[in-house]
Amino acid sequence: MTPMLKHLVMKIKSTGPITVAEYMREVLTNPVKGYYIQHDMLGESGDFITSPEISQIFGELIGIWFVSEWIANGKPNKFQLVELGPGRGSLTSDIIRVFNQLNSLLHKCDISVHLVEISPKLSEIQASVLTEGKIKLQESCLAYMQGLTKTGLPIFWYRDLNDVPGGFNFYLAHEFFDTLPIHKFQKTEKGWRELLVDIDPEAPDKLRFVLAPSATPAAEAFIHDKESRDHVEVSPDAGVTVQKLAHNTEKNGGAALIIDYGHDGTKTDTFRGFRGHKLHDVLISPGMADLTADVDFSYLRRMAQGVAALGPIKQQDFLRNMGIDIRLQVLLQNAKDANNRKQLLRSYEMLMDLDKMGGRFNFFAMLPSNRFGSSDQGRKPSASASVAGFGELVWK
């Protein structure tokens, strides 16, 4: 019995069955025993590998996307790069390297980096990757850590998105929304019932799923009348986060780019665990495995009021539109040996193959409604309004 399992059993004994959302929140982010607090879960020795860990090209193209949007917005004299859940810092590192390489274009722009990270272990890794040295701040400060990147940009760490200063922000959330807690609902003859986590009466050291005996407030709040599926997953935390990003983007300009595996309101039961790069039962050894659920992009779009929403489009399409094939050829020409070239081609295949990350991951963007002139708010802009990645990359 893991320490987290002991904690959950005591909690359920005292309060009764808990929602899947509460279960996920405890297992992943409990400040003492949570998976993200205690583990470095990324890379070959962790529980999963992300696109930035596979190839530098991924982050470089996202960096170019932000520069393209900066140009499209009239080259403002200041912007903040804000990443939610930055992992080991690989993606931010690749992006700010692009900013540095395009210094002739960006040299008059005041750029700072802001990372939202709750894991002490990961923030230390990020600091070692991104900075030459860091400064810890007093608890009274909103940022708990700050420093300078290796390219000289101010960088700050926060535990909460609400603590990040508003302004012309470029938000980035790569494999962030899939970790936010979900409520699960099942359609029954008596109406919608919420799935809960309870102690197994036949095995007191194990957990099981049960259906709530009656409709819960969450079921009444989140299941809409036109729902045709028999099983639905909803993440209120994802809705609140998207609303915050949308509000600042519409008010102050900038953009938000969300990259994750997910669907457009079609899938049902996607809640699963990963441990050692393999699927893992979500109720076994809680706190020792990552928990995740596919992102419902149709829900994010409904929550993104006031802004123009683009996507989701497949990762393969976005990266191809951003010029990944051209960048690959340049890297292949500069490769020093055959092994290096083989690694580049393997990485490209992993990022682009529709049966791998190319088809599993989606890109979704939120931009200010005035970015498209007369385009209706909250709707997809017309095809003539070219946005890098979602159409051909156009430098202006």
Are 60 and 93 contained in the same domain? Answer: yes
**Residue 390 near residue 309, CB atoms below 8 Å:** no
Are 287 and 189 contained in the same domain? Answer: no
* Mean pLDDT, range 123-143, rounded to an integer: 86
Are 174 and 190 contained in the same domain? Answer: no
Last residue of a domain, one of 212, 233, 254: 233
Q: How far apart are CA 285 and CA 282, in angstroms?
A: 8
| Residue 224, number of CB atoms within 10 A of its CB | 10
Question: Is 146 within the bounds of a domain?
Answer: yes
Are 255 and 343 contained in the same domain? Answer: yes
Are 175 and 195 contained in the same domain? Answer: no
Query: Which percentage of the chain shows pLDDT scores above 90?
Result: 81
Are 74 and 211 contained in the same domain? Answer: no
pLDDT at 138 over 50: yes
Question: Is 396 within the bounds of a domain?
Answer: no
- The total of structural domains in the chain comes to 2
Q: Supply φ then ψ for residue 208, to 5 degrees.
A: -150, 160
Are 19 and 43 contained in the same domain? Answer: no
Alpha carbon 202 to chain centroid, angstroms: 38
**Mean pLDDT of all residues belonging to the chain:** 91
Helix extents (H) in 256-323: 297-303, 315-321
pLDDT at 83 over 60: yes
Q: Are strands 361-368 and 307-314 parallel, antiparallel or unpaired?
A: antiparallel
Q: How far apart are CA 129 and CA 126, in angstroms?
A: 5
SS3 of 103, please?
helix
* Mean pLDDT, range 325-339, rounded to an integer: 91
Q: DSSP string of 213-249?
A: SS--HHHHHH--TT---SEEEE-HHHHHHHHHHHHHH
* Mean pLDDT, range 190-214, rounded to an integer: 96
**Residue 142 near residue 226, CB atoms below 8 Å:** no
| Residue 281, number of CB atoms within 10 A of its CB | 12
Last residue of a domain, one of 218, 233, 248: 233
Confidence of residue 387 (pLDDT cuts 50, 70, 90): very high
Residues 6+ away with beta carbon under 8 Å from 222: 183, 185, 232, 234, 236
Confidence of residue 313 (pLDDT cuts 50, 70, 90): very high
Are 68 and 112 contained in the same domain? Answer: yes
Provide the whole-model pTM. Answer: 0.92
Last residue of a domain, one of 198, 216, 233: 233
**Residue 304 near residue 244, CB atoms below 8 Å:** no
Q: Peptide bond preceding 120: is omega within 30 degrees of 0, i.e. cis?
A: no
Question: Is 278 within the bounds of a domain?
Answer: yes
Q: Give residue-wise pLDDT tens across range 359-368.
A: 999 999 999 9
Domain that holds residue 165: 39-179+237-372
**Residue 51 near residue 88, CB atoms below 8 Å:** no
Burial of 355 (0-12, 13-18, 19+ CB in 10 A): exposed
Are 117 and 223 contained in the same domain? Answer: no
Question: Is 380 within the bounds of a domain?
Answer: no
Confidence of residue 211 (pLDDT cuts 50, 70, 90): very high
- The CATH number linked to 78 is 3.40.50.150
Q: How far apart are CA 257 and CA 264, in angstroms?
A: 16
Are 44 and 99 contained in the same domain? Answer: yes
Helix H or strand E segment including 261: strand 254-263
| Residue 134, number of CB atoms within 10 A of its CB | 18
Q: Give residue-wise pLDDT tens across range 32-78.
A: 889 988 765 554 544 446 666 778 899 999 999 999 999 999 999 99
Question: Is 53 within the bounds of a domain?
Answer: yes
Structure-block tokens of residue 133? 């040295």
Question: Is 33 within the bounds of a domain?
Answer: no
**Residue 157 near residue 115, CB atoms below 8 Å:** yes
Q: Supply φ then ψ for residue 249, to 5 degrees.
A: -65, -45
Question: Is 391 within the bounds of a domain?
Answer: no
Are 296 and 201 contained in the same domain? Answer: no
Question: Is 390 within the bounds of a domain?
Answer: no
Are 299 and 362 contained in the same domain? Answer: yes
Smallest CA-to-CA distance from 170 within 296, 78, 55, 61 is with: 78
